Amino acid sequence: MRIGLPRALLYYRYGRFWECFLAELGAEVVLSRKTDEEILARGLAAVSSEVCLPIKIAAGHLLELADSVDAIFFPRMNWLGDKLFACPKMIGIVDVAAMLVGNRVKLIAPIINGNFMSAHLKAGFEFTRDPFRVSQAWKKAKSELKNTSIRSDHAQGVRDSTVGVIGHFYNLGDDFIGRTIITTFRRCGYDIITKEEIPDDILSRDNGFAKNIRWIYERELYNAFEYLLNQVAGFCVVVSMGCGPDSLVAEFMREQAQKRSVPFLLLVIDEHTGEAGLVTRIEAFVELLKRRKMPRLARMTAL
Pick 25 or 165: Cβ nearer ligand SF4: 165
Among 71, 112, 240, 282, binds ligand SF4 (CB under 6 A): 240
Pick 15 or 54: Cβ nearer ligand SF4: 54
Is residue 168 part of the contact set for ligand SF4 (CB under 6 A)?
Answer: yes
Residues in the chain: 303
Pick 42 or 219: Cβ nearer ligand SF4: 219
Is residue 224 part of the contact set for ligand SF4 (CB under 6 A)?
Answer: no
Is residue 35 part of the contact set for ligand SF4 (CB under 6 A)?
Answer: no
Per the CB < 8 A criterion, the answer to whether 267 and 239 are in contact is yes
Pick 221 or 289: Cβ nearer ligand SF4: 221
- Dihedral angle of Cα 139, 144, 145, 151, to the nearest 10 degrees: 140
To ligand SF4, the closest distance from the beta carbon of 189 in angstroms equals 30
Among 4, 15, 54, 110, binds ligand SF4 (CB under 6 A): 54
To ligand SF4, the closest distance from the beta carbon of 265 in angstroms equals 18
Per the CB < 8 A criterion, the answer to whether 39 and 33 are in contact is yes
Closest to 109 in 3D by CA, of 95, 130, 99? 95
Q: At what angle do helices 53-66 and 37-46 cross, to 10 degrees?
A: 100
Is residue 90 part of the contact set for ligand SF4 (CB under 6 A)?
Answer: yes
Q: Tell me, what amino acid is at 95?
A: D
Q: How many residues bind ligand SF4 (CB under 6 A)?
A: 11
To ligand SF4, the closest distance from the beta carbon of 267 in angstroms equals 13
- Using CA atoms, how far apart are residues 193 and 164, in angstroms rounded to an integer? 5
Closest to 121 in 3D by CA, of 133, 142, 135? 135
Among 165, 246, 263, 269, binds ligand SF4 (CB under 6 A): 246
To ligand SF4, the closest distance from the beta carbon of 138 in angstroms equals 27
Strands 84-85, 76-80: pairing kind? antiparallel
In the chain, the N- to C-terminal Cα span, in Å, equals: 66
To ligand SF4, the closest distance from the beta carbon of 143 in angstroms equals 27
Bridge partners (DSSP) listed for residue 194: none
Per the CB < 8 A criterion, the answer to whether 289 and 263 are in contact is yes
In the stretch 57-86, what mask flags binding to ligand SF4 with x, by CB under 6 A?
------------------------------
Instruction: Count CA atoms within 13 Å of residue 94 on its CB side.
Output: 18
Closest to 55 in 3D by CA, of 278, 274, 271, 273? 271
To ligand SF4, the closest distance from the beta carbon of 240 in angstroms equals 4
To ligand SF4, the closest distance from the beta carbon of 169 in angstroms equals 10
Strands 84-85, 159-166: pairing kind? unpaired
- Residue, CB closest to ligand SF4: 243
Pick 21 or 74: Cβ nearer ligand SF4: 74
Residues forming contacts to ligand SF4 in the complex (CB under 6 A) are: 52, 54-55, 87, 89-90, 168, 240, 243, 245-246
